[in-house]
Amino acid sequence: MTPAIGSLITDPTSMEPMLPSEGQRELEDLAFNLIRKASSLAGQLHPIVTSAIGSLVRSMNCYYSNLIEGHDTHPRDIDRALHQDFASEPKRRGLQLEAVAHIQVQEAIDQGRDDPAYPASTAYASWLHREFCTRLPEELLWLDDPSSTRLLHLQPGVLRDGEVMVGKHCPPAAATLGAFLKRFDEAYDPENLSKVRQITTAAAAHHRILWIHPFYDGNGRVARLMSHAFFKRLGIGSSVWSVARGLARNVGRYKSLLMAADEPRRDDLDGPGPLSQAALDEFCHFFLAVCVDQIDFMRSILEPTEILRRIEIYTEDEVRAGRLPKGSFPLLREALHAGEFERGQAASLTGYKERMGRNVLSRLLELGLLLSPSPKAPVSLGFPVMVVERWFPALYPAAAR
């Protein structure tokens, strides 16, 4: 349903307040806790292993972001898509293509190949939307126009030129998006905010870009990738944790708090602007608490001795079943501890003669449990989808396994 002309929002002050309340002790404590825990998470494993896990977490992030959108893309379908193995059924194939696009954009963020603009900005939001949509096939860029029977063509990185309704919320009029986004840029300009204040405002920016709804479609993905980039740029985000998992696992509360922050102020004590300050504060608190929770979760499953224990149990089970050769575990253990090792070390690590050591190495490479960029290059630990649940329990919900 398209809103009536008389109901259109045209004044940028309509989305005030833009920031959480000053001096909130609990919110500031969450920010400091987030900094401390993110720092300790970063040094748990060898950087080469951390980088490889980052690829796994990007797929996970994509899965949960899609889940929030109501798209249940199975992790194995995502893995197949990353290997260019697409389903013949159009809808399933479309979800796979969306997943690959999402992962590629996050990879650019994680590797510092993203737009240099500050993440909480119009320029960065447009970059995210453009990068995501240009990776989609043409058929996925056509949308139903809710106000008519015609189709809308989604243009990558281009602001909407028509009116929309998002549930009960009527976003700003298309003609005034420039003014709203200018206010968005001013409010979250890092030159005016301390690092702690930037962290406490991360959720406010997340909500307000959704409230503005600058694009016809893709705003949710833009907001979540923006939050990921926001924390990454501040030095507390990384490729090995994702707020999307926490938001998806609390999706009812996430969406209800988003909607509550759309509501007008409750009384004269509820902040200085037309929208509820209390509701925005509650959403900011929830969002940072989810971030801390997700770092705690990843820290628990990435604890080196626990990973090694799970790898050892898995390897013993697979050896007994005849799916892995004896001598596999010492090679996997070395890759976990050292990050990588030379192929010539296989014999000494397994305790076998050279030919048998090479056979064990070849089998692990064949299964993707070890990886190597070339036939003579060192090998490192791989994380194929078949081992995810055994090595990283609870990364995905039970229904996705």
CATH number at residue 333: 1.10.10.10
In a domain, 170, yes or no: yes
* Element housing 230 (H / E): helix 219-233
- Kindly state whether residues 296 and 308 are assigned to the same domain: no
Domain termination residue (choose one: 252, 286, 301): 301
Q: Is residue 401 over pLDDT 70?
A: no
% of the chain residues with pLDDT over 90: 90
- Kindly state whether residues 48 and 162 are assigned to the same domain: yes
Packed helices 177-187 and 202-212: angle between N→C axes, nearest 10 degrees: 180
pLDDT of residue 333: 98
Please give the Cα distance from 401 to 394 (Å, whole number): 9
- Kindly state whether residues 248 and 121 are assigned to the same domain: yes
Please give the Cα distance from 304 to 232 (Å, whole number): 23
Q: Provide the H-helix boundaries in 1-89.
A: 25-42, 47-68, 75-82
pLDDT of residue 146: 66
pLDDT of residue 42: 78
Please give the Cα distance from 174 to 278 (Å, whole number): 28
Beta bridge partners of 143: 152
Judged by DSSP in three states, 160 sits in coil
In a domain, 1, yes or no: no
Q: Are 78 and 99 in contact (CB under 8 A)?
A: yes
Q: Which domain holds residue 323?
A: 304-395
The string of pLDDT tens digits covering residues 47-79 is 999 999 999 999 999 999 999 998 888 899 999
pLDDT of residue 7: 75
pLDDT of residue 5: 46
pLDDT of residue 51: 93
pLDDT of residue 3: 57
Q: Which of these, 2, 81, 27, 108, lies nearest to 282 by C-alpha position?
A: 27
pLDDT of residue 398: 76
Strand runs labelled E in 175-288: none
Domain termination residue (choose one: 283, 301, 319): 301
Answer with the residue of higher pLDDT: 219 or 399: 219
Domain termination residue (choose one: 301, 334, 367): 301
Largest CA distance in the chain: 82
Beta bridge partners of 340: 380
Please give the Cα distance from 135 to 102 (Å, whole number): 9
pLDDT confidence bin for 145, thresholds 50/70/90? confident
Q: Is residue 97 over pLDDT 70?
A: yes
What's the token pair of residue 398?
């039970």
The string of pLDDT tens digits covering residues 260-281 is 999 999 999 999 999 999 999 9
Query: Which of the 8 DSSP states describes residue 194?
Result: -
The string of pLDDT tens digits covering residues 296-341 is 999 999 999 999 999 999 999 999 999 999 999 999 999 999 999 9
Angle at 179 between CA 174 and CA 181, to 5 degrees: 85
Please give the Cα distance from 216 to 169 (Å, whole number): 14
Q: Is residue 2 over pLDDT 90?
A: no
In a domain, 11, yes or no: no
- Kindly state whether residues 175 and 225 are assigned to the same domain: yes
DSSP symbols for 107-128: HHHHTT-S-SS-SSSHHHHHHH
- Kindly state whether residues 98 and 137 are assigned to the same domain: yes
pLDDT confidence bin for 399, thresholds 50/70/90? low
pLDDT confidence bin for 158, thresholds 50/70/90? very high
Please give the Cα distance from 65 to 152 (Å, whole number): 24
- Kindly state whether residues 85 and 221 are assigned to the same domain: yes
Q: Which of these, 23, 25, 41, 19, lies nearest to 291 by C-alpha position?
A: 41
- Kindly state whether residues 314 and 388 are assigned to the same domain: yes
Please give the Cα distance from 257 to 247 (Å, whole number): 11
- Kindly state whether residues 45 and 86 are assigned to the same domain: yes
Half-sphere exposure of residue 183, counting CA atoms within 13 Å on the CB side?
19
Please give the Cα distance from 326 to 360 (Å, whole number): 8
